[in-house]
Amino acid sequence: MAFVQNLPFICILLSLFTGPLSSILSGKMTKKLNLVMITAVGIMSAMVLAFTVKSGEAYTYMMGHFPAPWGNEIRVGVLEALLATVFSVIMLLCIVGGSKEREEELESTKQNLYYIMANLLFCSLLALIYTNDIFTAYVFVEINTISACGLIMIRQNGRTIEASMRYMIMSLLGSGLLLLGICFLYDLTGHLLMSNIKEQVQILAATGEYQIPLLVCITLMTVGLAIKSALYPFHTWLPDAYGYSTMSSSAILSSLVSKGYIILLIKIYYRVIGIDVIRASKITNVLFVFGLVGMVMGSVNAIKENNIRRMIAYSSVAQIGYIYMGLGLGSEIGVIASVFHILSHAASKALLFVAASGITRASGKNKDFASLTGAGFRNRLAGIAFTIGSLSMVGFPTFAGFISKFWFAQAAFENANHTKTMLALIVLIISTVLNALYFMKTVIRIYTPAPALAKEKNYQNITVRGQAPKSFAMICFVAMNFMLGMCSDPIMKLIQSGLEMFG
């Protein structure tokens, strides 16, 4: 048992304890502690990734001295380690990028609370990635919900409180369904550890007993997690929550929180129920249809928006639709493409939010499009970063978005059902065109010179050095985007080997 194998557990514990520890420290110390912790977790996850890639197999880690099936376990493979590493990097950059906004928008007494919530969120995310026990997963799902709610409402104005209320309501509906599904599953199989549940489910599927309860169980868990990750039509909380909270919250929520639930869903499909049973149950068709609708409707709603943050939020709805479409295609390449899209979307969307906040700063903090005219000249780095993010979303080659779309198209072809293939391809192209409409419109607007407007409203120019943490975050995100776009092959291989050992 190499020391490296302990690291995932240490990561979870570290982030868990930094939470309460932050409550007794002052604002500045908390911020430094937070950054140090996330960096440490990132480095440790990278080491775990290297270890799992070298050993070529996943290992289970027993918590305490209670063996399976009575004890709790975490399981670490290539996919988990990869996700943990990437998520730590994104979390770090989001928090760094939004530091100035937090200082301005949050009351000084609440600065601490923000980092507590962020730490707990991070801990729950890591736990969701690594856990091998389904009830632990539920508990951490709840912790995730609560801390995400905290992140939304930490900025106190009417909109955010209403948004967080709406978020809690939808989330709790999803949690309730998930919990009921978990209880059914426990009732059917008698186990809580994922690998043990799978053995029992395989036996049940083979004998054909309890077919309907198993189907009900799968449906409940799927619908519960779909509600929580804002699949259309359960997305109504998303635009308000992302649009009005502070910038780092929006970035973290859009990149990480919804993805955590999707990863749990993939985990349930592979490790709890078994992907063959899932495919036989045809629930993937339902996910496919809702994914398609989300792809189109998300973009349609984004076109109508006048507030840049809400527009980006609706774009998130569309992108989550892509991921569910990939899952719904049912083939292995579909799931690989979805996981790659999780990574690429996290990188691009966070970049967009950071760049959008840079642009709005240069326009007197106004978010409507009329004020944003010419902002690309006032804040050059943010303008360029926003353009790169938009091009990636739209699917320009050499950026991450193109690779995702390419693999989604390839996955569509693998499908034996021709209608599904054609539908997937057609909706893919329609949604790309729609994406281009609103993103390119915004890019042109920010690059239309409007010196008169700037002088009249007294908008400040913002230099690269003037917003140092944000510039750093933007440059790193752009680099990540390029890397995902140009060197996607090694990452796809990692994801593929990770998925093989995931089940």
Partner 1 sequence: MGIWILLPIILPIVTGMYLLISSFLKHLKSTESELKTADGSLKPVVLLTLIVSVAAAFYASWTGDKSITLFYLMKDIPICFKVDAVAALFVTVVSIVWLLVGFYAFPYMSHEGEEKRYFGFYLVVYGVLMGLNFSGNLVTLYLFYELMTVTSMPMVLHNGSREAIMAALKYLFYSMCGAYMALFGIFVLNKYCDTLAFVAGGSLNTVLAQGNETIILIAVMAMLIGFGVKAGMLPLHAWLPAAHPVAPAPASAVLSSIIVKGGVLAIVRVVYYVVGADVIRGTWVQYAWLILSLLTVFMGSMLAYREPVFKKRLAYSTVSQVSYILFGLAVLTPAGITGALLHVVFHAFIKCTLFLTAGIFIFQCGKSRVDELEGIGKCMPKTLWCYTFAALALIGIPPASGFISKWYLAQGAFDSQIGILGWGGIVVLLLSALLTAGYLLPITMKGFFTEKKTEELEFEKGEPPMAMLMPLMILAFLAMILGVLPSGMIDYAAQIAATIL
Partner 2 sequence: MMNLTNLLANYGEAAAMILFGIGFTNLLLQNNLIKKIIGLNIMDTAVYLFLALKGYIAGRQAPIVVDGVQSVEAYINPIPSGLVLTGIVVSVSVSALMLSLTIRLYRRYHTLNFDEITTMIKKEEK
Closest CA to 223 of 253, 277, 168, 265: 265
Closest CA to 143 of 161, 165, 125, 169: 125
Closest CA to 247 of 391, 151, 377: 151
Partner from partner 1, partner 2, none contacting 183, C-beta within 5 to 8 A by type: partner 2
Q: Is 13 among the residues that bind partner 1 (CB under 8 A)?
A: no
Site string for partner 1, 450-469 (x = CB under 8 A): -----------x--------
Q: Is 410 among the residues that bind partner 1 (CB under 8 A)?
A: yes
* Choice from 83, 93, 117, 179 touching partner 2 (CB under 8 A): 179
* Choice from 32, 304, 441, 457 touching partner 1 (CB under 8 A): 441
Residue number, 26 or 157, with CB nearest to partner 2: 157
* Choice from 41, 117, 148, 153 touching partner 2 (CB under 8 A): 153
Angle in degrees, 0-180, between the axes of helices 111-130 and 7-24, rounded to the nearest 10: 160
Closest CA to 443 of 346, 259, 319, 308: 308
Are the CB atoms for 94 and 472 separated by under 8 Å?
no
Residue 487 has φ and ψ, to the nearest 5°, of -110, 55
Tokens encoding 219: 């449906």
Partner from partner 1, partner 2, none contacting 67, C-beta within 5 to 8 A by type: none
Partner from partner 2, partner 1, none contacting 173, C-beta within 5 to 8 A by type: partner 2
* Choice from 164, 229, 390, 431 touching partner 2 (CB under 8 A): 164
Residue-by-residue DSSP string for 127-189 = HHHHB-BHHHHHHHHHHHHHHHHHHHHTS-SHHHHHHHHHHHHHHHHHHHHHHHHHHHHHHHH
Shortest CB 85 distance to partner 1, Å: 22
Stretch that binds partner 1, among 21-29, 70-78, 145-153, 390-398 (CB under 8 A): 390-398
Q: Is 394 among the residues that bind partner 1 (CB under 8 A)?
A: yes
Q: Is 46 among the residues that bind partner 2 (CB under 8 A)?
A: no
Are the CB atoms for 95 and 350 separated by under 8 Å?
no
CB atoms inside a 10 Å sphere around CB 456: 9
Size of the site for partner 1 (CB under 8 A): 34
CB atoms inside a 10 Å sphere around CB 422: 12
* Choice from 35, 113, 183, 453 touching partner 2 (CB under 8 A): 183
Q: What's the CA gap between 135 and 143, in Å, rounded?
A: 13
Shortest CB 492 distance to partner 1, Å: 8
Tokens encoding 443: 């890019």
Shortest CB 183 distance to partner 2, Å: 6
Residue number, 152 or 394, with CB nearest to partner 1: 394
Q: What's the CA gap between 321 and 340, in Å, rounded?
A: 14
DSSP assignment letter at 67: P
- Site residues, partner 2 (CB under 8 A): 135, 138-139, 142, 145-146, 149, 153, 158-159, 161-162, 164-165, 168-169, 172-173, 176-177, 179-180, 183, 186-187, 192
Q: Which residues bind partner 1 (CB under 8 A)?
A: 377, 380, 394-398, 403, 405-406, 409-410, 413, 418, 421-422, 425-426, 428-429, 432-433, 436-437, 440-441, 444, 448-449, 461, 485-486, 488-489
